[in-house]
Amino acid sequence: MRYRLQTEDLSTAQRETTVLFIWEPPDRLREYLENGLEGLPGIKLVYPPDVEEETLTRLAPDADIIIGWRPTKGILDAAERLKLFINPGAGVQHLIDLFREQAERRDITLVNGHGNSYFTAQHAVAMLLALTNKVIPHHNWMVQGQWRKGDKDAVTIPMRDRSVGLLGYGAVNSKVHRFLSGFEVEFHALRSDWSKLAEAPPTHLVQYTPDQLDDFLKAIDILIVALPMTPKTDGLIGAREFELLGPDGLFLNFGRGGVVDEKSLYNALKEKVIAGAALDVWYNYTPVADEGGRTAPYNYPFHELDNVVLSPHRAASPFRDLKRWDEVIENITRFANGRTDFLNVVDIEAGY
């Protein structure tokens, strides 16, 4: 459902709010945004005729809000009125240094997008069940004409009585919790600051903080990672952590590849330190094709392993779904009404 406009703090005198898009939104998205903002006075949506640096820099000085993924320093410097920058995607690590520099001389609020969190959580659950139910090998055997290979080749791992560990408990893993709550499992979660939890968990949840990572890993046998990439999370999971997860452990990553040491992950799977993994995020996003034409976003042959489900960083699909823009509409509405309690504000110093 669309975010509803709340009525507090509406006494601020309104003036025209100019919103500049630094890419070219398709017509159906423009119509959706315009319908969502209909009835809100003083909103001017500026769609650039092209996305050349010169064009965007010329349009930037009038912008109160800019929406887009990759602004340049020149665009931000030119946007003298800018108060709110909306990054429609969840990842902001590429923006942190740029906005830290801007923060040295003025206040700009950076927000990121959680509109894809439902799809990402759905993808996480789908990959978990593909991993536990050995969907991929049985599918491949049927394609090859091998009928009913059976349990001796790829036996299902029951979800019942498992302990699910949610590393990061934000927009994605809170939904994973809700989606999996119908299974007979227990839930554990590690989060940096539980006081900022947006809403109560759907079922009982054992809570941990970063200094309790070892206790958290010892208590679980399914680890689902949905963490941003920051200096504190870089390489957080390595060989020692996989040892703690144990030989029955299942590992899933939907946050950022760099949160997990790549070599340690490959070795843990190859040597059966853990039972299996489902991976949607990787290490090299500009891979070069090898002599056989294969491109791979990793440096170790994960595709040769029989205990892994691979996905090409597509958990945020479908990108054309328009409801993912509801929080953008809400943030524009709040700005236009003089509010500063925006959704998904990024802590520039913390990096997420």
Separation CA 95–CA 349 (nearest Å): 12
- Res. 6: pLDDT tops 50: no
Q: Does domain 117-310 have CATH number 3.40.50.2300?
A: no
296 vs 351 pLDDT, higher one:
296
**Cis ω on the peptide bond leading into residue 318 (within 30° of 0)?**
yes
pLDDT at 198: 83
The pTM assigned to this predicted structure is 0.90
Distance between alpha carbon 99 and the CA centroid of its chain, in Å? 20
pLDDT at 3: 35
Separation CA 64–CA 134 (nearest Å): 51
Mean pLDDT of 152-168: 96
Q: Find all residues with CB under 8 Å of 224, minimum gap 6, and list them.
A: 124, 128, 164, 165, 166, 167, 173, 176, 252, 254
Residue type, 190: L
pLDDT digits (tens, 9 = 90+) for 7-18: 334 334 456 899
- Res. 340: pLDDT tops 90: yes
pLDDT digits (tens, 9 = 90+) for 216-256: 999 999 999 999 999 999 999 999 999 999 999 999 999 99
pLDDT digits (tens, 9 = 90+) for 287-311: 999 888 999 999 999 999 999 999 9
Q: Does domain 17-115+319-336 have CATH number 3.40.50.720?
A: yes
pLDDT digits (tens, 9 = 90+) for 175-204: 999 999 999 999 999 999 999 898 999 999
Q: Do domains 17-115+319-336 and 117-310 have the same CATH topology?
A: yes
Separation CA 304–CA 137 (nearest Å): 13
159 vs 89 pLDDT, higher one:
159
Break the chain into its structural domains and give their ranges: 17-115+319-336, 117-310
pLDDT at 150: 82
- The gap between the terminal CA atoms of the chain, to the nearest Å, is 26
pLDDT digits (tens, 9 = 90+) for 27-52: 999 999 999 999 898 999 999 999 99
